[in-house]
Amino acid sequence: MTDTSPNPSWGGRFAAGPAAVMQRINASIGFDQRLWRQDIRGSTAHAAMLAHCGIIGAKDAADIAGGLAAIAAEIESGRFAFSEALEDIHMNIEARLAERIGEAGRRLHTARSRNDQVATDFRLWVRDAIDGLDAQLADLMRALAERAAAHAADPMPGFTHLQTAQPVTFGHHLLAYVEMLSRDRGRLADGRARLNECPLGAAALAGTSFPIDRAMTATELGFDRPMGNSIDAVSDRDFALEFLSAAAISAMHLSRFAEEVVIWCSAPFRFIRLSDAFTTGSSIMPQKRNPDAAELVRAKTGRVNGALIGLLTVMKGLPLAYAKDMQEDKEPVFEAAEAWALALAATAGMVRDMAPDTERMRAFAGSGFATATDLADWLVRTLRLPFRDAHHVTGRLVARAEARGVDLAALTLAEMQEEEPRISGDVFSVLSVEASVASRRSEGGTAPARVAAAAAGWLDRLP
Ligand code: ARG
């Protein structure tokens, strides 16, 4: 349905309204209404500044503040009628303000453009999203660190190439994700610091002839300072791209954990079990217990990556300053923020829910000649063999054990001495899983004492 009259906000030079399809492609109200809180906050600060600088009267500013608060209440309670003919959230709110308070409402847009307005609103929105996601990341880190503390000494097979490599502890493995998520928080914090400058006052692109006070609005909105160049202020969306990059990297981390959950839950592994709360059944196979939440966390990564590539593509090659292309900046950011938040919440839920089968993990920790490196290290340490030679001797012993279908520790001393006569019975002390993990005492290593200390350190530092 199209209004045939020109747009009431900017239609002075227009004789007719837009074609139906023009209105549909032009309007952003369907998605940018999510910016309403930020828009009202920005407009309230702008009006107060205009009055402070003597650009509008104090009474007008008070009426504007009151009118905007009333509109906030209308939107909050679902009574606000959003109009596609009014294009976007900015003009919807401004038109309603004029409806409610008359002339004062029509003074609000003095010394401002939708270009600096939307840039401000969007920065505020992304900043709020960053704060929420940061808290979720910290919560997930805490959930992982708590489980890590409890399993600091429980061995599991460590993998490279998804082949048994060396025993590690389950706690150590979980803490690897805590480190990744901590860097994800760091990326958010870096992006937040860079985005926290205020575009307001850049107006359309050139600044304004009114004697505004940009520091005042910047401070009021919690920004560190006004942006330094009015053209840049209205035309870059690098802050949104940084947010999406941080989201893509974090979603990648979450997808790796999700994949491990899927593997650990599978029948051949059975390292962990997820309860009814985090699994679904199959409509045909009654025995099934599917880790759908983990699979969907793994899949959300696609959406987040798509959002990043989508916005990079929108921005690439755009001449300065604002272009309507940039209206396409919001949906990918909203979508990615939502997917990321949901993935974080689901992952934290699974981490708190999962029941590890530590017996089974321990049993597999020693399989696949997982302590072969310990044997090689023993040859280096005790017999002073060069590591390369020790590697060969161990390789021959592994081949023997494999041929007999037994573990390294089940070889007899005589068999070992056939490969290297100087091997003594002491070698068996390093071939157990417990001895192996306990020996990895190097900084950042998997020795239970190291893992317990690392987990405690995280739990201490986390909010
Ligand atoms: N809805 C627009 C957007 O999100 C607001 C800015 C419009 N500016 C303009 N010059 N038409 O980008």
> Where would I find the H helices in 316-421?
330-353, 358-365, 372-383, 387-404, 413-419
Residue owning the nearest CA to atom 11 of ligand 1: 324
Ligand 1 atom closest to Cα of residue 122: 4
Residue owning the nearest CA to atom 10 of ligand 1: 115
Ligand 1 atom closest to Cα of residue 204: 10
Mean pLDDT to the nearest integer, 263-274? 96
Percent of the chain whose pLDDT exceeds 90:
92
Q: Check if 88 has its Cβ closer than 6 Å to any atom of ligand 1.
A: yes
| 406/408 Cα distance (integer angstroms) | 7
Which residue from 88, 121, 237, 326 has its CB within 8 A of the most atoms of ligand 1, so it is best to mutate?
88
Give catalytic residues, as residue numbers. 161, 282
Which tens digit of pLDDT belongs to each residue from 183-196? Answer: 999 999 999 999 99
β 197-198/225-226 pair status = parallel
Q: Check if 115 has its Cβ closer than 6 Å to any atom of ligand 1.
A: yes
pLDDT at 3: 54
Neighbouring residues of 162: CB distance < 8 A, sequence distance ≥ 6: none
Which tens digit of pLDDT belongs to each residue from 433-444? Answer: 999 999 999 999
Which tens digit of pLDDT belongs to each residue from 181-230? Answer: 999 999 999 999 999 999 999 999 999 999 999 999 999 999 999 999 99
Report the SS3 class of residue 287: coil
Q: Check if 333 has its Cβ closer than 6 Å to any atom of ligand 1.
A: no
Residue written as tokens 């604002």? 322
Tell me the CA–centroid distance for residue 91 and ligand 1, in Å. 10
Q: CA 321: distance to chain centroid?
A: 30
Ligand 1 atom closest to Cα of residue 326: 12
Tell me the CA–centroid distance for residue 104 and ligand 1, in Å. 23
DSSP string computed for 55-81:
SS-HHHHHHHHHHHHHHHHHHHTT---
Q: What is the pTM of this model?
A: 0.94
